[in-house]
Structure 1
Amino acid sequence: MKWRSRPIPAAELLAAATALVLPLLTCPAAACEKTVRWNEDPPFSMRGSADGELIGLNVELVRETLRRLGCSARWVEMPWARALAELEAGRLDILPGTLRLPERERFAYFSAPGPQSRNRLFVRADELRKWASLSRLADLRGSGFRLGAQLGVAYGPDYDELMRDPEFARSVHRTPSRRSLWLMVDAGRLDGVLVNEMTGRRELAQLGLQERIKDTGLVANHPTAAVAFSRKTIAPDFVARYNKAAEAMQQDGSQAAIVQRYAPGL
């Protein structure tokens, strides 16, 4: 018995092609996974107390924005300085809560600015009166103030201007861990630390230091933070679509709902 080939009708070819392609179109999240940095940094990113699920202001905003683009997030825990290096190398796709600076634009695209809070100066409660006359960060120059700051974190133009003073810069203690900075302030080894106002209050409460270390009210001026995308792995078109999705979240109230969940009154 001989088998004879027959011409395949165009309709059958189209049906077969559709069967192969359709699963790819209907499962975009599986094909669109982005690595996103997180670190224990309440209220922006943290583990939920009940089940250990990753939650927080930045976590939920990025997760929902990516979902609207048909993408998912693979969360990677790492300290800030390393995250910047990984973003530049293309081993990290997305870094939330990043200041847009000229040196970072070499290796990163940036989203439109998101919800903002401020960096403030915290000192020991028993020294609040000593530093009460400070009205801006530049007033620390020549004061003998021993400041603590995180490695790799940008605090804005006021801080940068202050750090151009070699004498003051030598007195600044920089470390990857904010927890160690709080403990050094409490022990009297540092006079104060710059930190986001919401993060500072949460961390002090967790450490039981909320009565021993207080917010001076001095605000360090800084640019608005945004979401950074690695130029090596993310196309400009994706950033444009991310901005449109974020704008839609502003308009439908979902962004405000997330912000109020973690930062009431912001």
Structure 2
Amino acid sequence: MIAVDLNRSPSPRYRPLFVLLLLVCLPGLATAACEKTLRWDDDPPFSMQTADGGVVGIAIDLNRAVLARLGCQTKLRKLPWARALKELELGRVDILHGAFRRPERERYAYFSGTVLPPSRNILFARTSTWGQWPSERLLDLQHTAFRLGAQTNVSYGTDYLTLMSDPAFAARVSTATNRTSLWRMVSKGRIDGVIADENTGRYEIHQLGFDAQIKPTAIVVSSDAAEVAFSKRTNDPAFVQLYVDVLSEFVADGRYQQIVQRYVMP
């Protein structure tokens, strides 16, 4: 019989092998402990429902793959963001992807750290006219005639706030609750560009058939690193570390980027 010392913490190098050994040696424990509830909502390309009722997306595929490596089944719950945070606190959601670390959240959640590349908001612009706006930062557009599109009540960082404090520039900014209308305005030449998350923007542009008309620029408007949050009621630090080890491996060997490319056109 194989003896497993549960009181000793394996070195980081051997943690994934250690958890697989546990799953082989303790099948009853693995079955009882390894179903993890993951939140999703209609947020392409990170999570979305297919025509046949399945749920897919960057966050869904990634978490399913990581949890499968840990011998865990994934259970999905569709929840709006605010409700998902409450359910995480209560232990009715185990894992919440794309969360920002906040002191009030650390009372009830462990965080993965910044393993995944930061989620960047970048400027997308009309291909036919972008050449007339040479710039390296969003602020470079302040004293031009550039017409910007942005979502209502969304913060895009300090440069954007500086521009919006200039009445002349703010007057040229078109806002909307839904980005689809903004992309259509760019395609018709009514505005020159839109700020959006780089993965979401690429996905939406492709879905609308605007790949040739709208392209991402090199201007990074903001770059904040989101993390994966784990309910303290249903997870312990050892499991979180095992998850982080596998997630880090996926990023290092390119599997994370392969998942991204399933949904985002190059």
CA distance in 1, matches of 2:143, 2:125: 17
Instruction: Specify the SS of the correspondent of 1:27.
Output: helix
Are the structure 2 counterparts of residues 187 and 119 from structure 1 closer, same or farther at C-alpha, using a change threshold of 3 Å? same
CA distance in 1, matches of 2:219, 2:30: 51
Instruction: Specify the SS of the correspondent of 1:202.
Output: helix
Instruction: Specify the SS of the correspondent of 1:210.
Output: coil
Instruction: Specify the SS of the correspondent of 2:217.
Output: strand
Q: Is the 8 A contact 1:87 1:229 kept in 2?
A: no
CA distance in 2, matches of 1:112, 1:202: 26
Are the structure 2 counterparts of residues 242 and 35 from structure 1 closer, same or farther at C-alpha, using a change threshold of 3 Å? same
Please state how far the C-alpha of 1:127 moved relative to its aligned partner: 3.0
Q: Is the 8 A contact 2:160 2:221 kept in 1?
A: no
Percent identity of equivalent pairs: 35
Which AA in structure 1 matches 2:261? A
Superposition pairs for residues 174-189 of structure 1, below 5 Å? Answer: 175=177, 177-188=178-189
Q: Does 1:166 align with 2:165?
A: yes
Could you tell me the TM-score, scaled by structure 1's length? 0.65
Question: Among residues 112, 123, 126, which one is paired with 1:124 in the alignment?
Answer: 126
Please state how far the C-alpha of 1:234 moved relative to its aligned partner: 5.2
Which AA in structure 1 matches 2:211? Q
Match of 1:146 in 2: 148
CA distance in 2, matches of 1:220, 1:69: 36
Please state how far the C-alpha of 1:90 moved relative to its aligned partner: 2.8
Which AA in structure 2 matches 1:33? K
Aligned residue pair count: 229
Question: Among residues 32, 35, 39, which one is paired with 1:36 in the alignment?
Answer: 39
Match of 2:67 in 1: 66
Q: Does 1:212 align with 2:209?
A: no
Q: Is the 8 A contact 1:123 1:214 kept in 2?
A: yes
Are the structure 2 counterparts of residues 239 and 259 from structure 1 closer, same or farther at C-alpha, using a change threshold of 3 Å? same
Instruction: Specify the SS of the correspondent of 1:263.
Output: helix
Cα shift readout 1:95-128 (whole Å, capped 9, x = no counterpart): 3234556786577542133443643211223431
CA distance in 2, matches of 1:98, 1:197: 17
Q: Is the 8 A contact 2:122 2:222 kept in 1?
A: no
User: Rg bigger for which structure?
Assistant: 1
Cα shift readout 1:49-81 (whole Å, capped 9, x = no counterpart): 7x5533333222211222344433333345xxx
Q: Is the 8 A contact 2:36 2:95 kept in 1?
A: no
Are the structure 2 counterparts of residues 231 and 27 from structure 1 closer, same or farther at C-alpha, using a change threshold of 3 Å? closer
Give ranges in structure 1 of 5+ residues lacking alignment.
1-21
Are the structure 2 counterparts of residues 186 and 234 from structure 1 closer, same or farther at C-alpha, using a change threshold of 3 Å? farther
CA distance in 2, matches of 1:193, 1:39: 21
Match of 2:112 in 1: 111
CA distance in 2, matches of 1:240, 1:135: 39
CA distance in 1, matches of 2:123, 2:205: 13
Give ranges in structure 2 of 5+ residues lacking alignment.
1-25
Are the structure 2 counterparts of residues 147 and 235 from structure 1 closer, same or farther at C-alpha, using a change threshold of 3 Å? farther
Which AA in structure 2 matches 1:166? S
Match of 1:17 in 2: none
Please state how far the C-alpha of 1:193 moved relative to its aligned partner: 1.6
Could you tell me the TM-score, scaled by structure 2's length? 0.65
Instruction: Specify the SS of the correspondent of 2:113.
Output: coil
Superposition pairs for residues 1-266 of structure 1, below 5 Å? Answer: 25-28=29-32, 32-42=35-45, 44-47=46-49, 53-77=54-78, 82-83=80-81, 85-90=82-87, 92-100=93-101, 109-116=110-117, 118-130=120-132, 132-143=133-144, 145-149=147-151, 155=156, 159-163=157-161, 165-167=164-166, 171=173, 173=175, 175=177, 177-188=178-189, 190-230=191-231, 235-249=236-250, 253=253, 256-263=254-261
Instruction: Specify the SS of the correspondent of 1:88.
Output: helix
Are the structure 2 counterparts of residues 148 and 233 from structure 1 closer, same or farther at C-alpha, using a change threshold of 3 Å? farther
Which AA in structure 2 matches 1:37? W
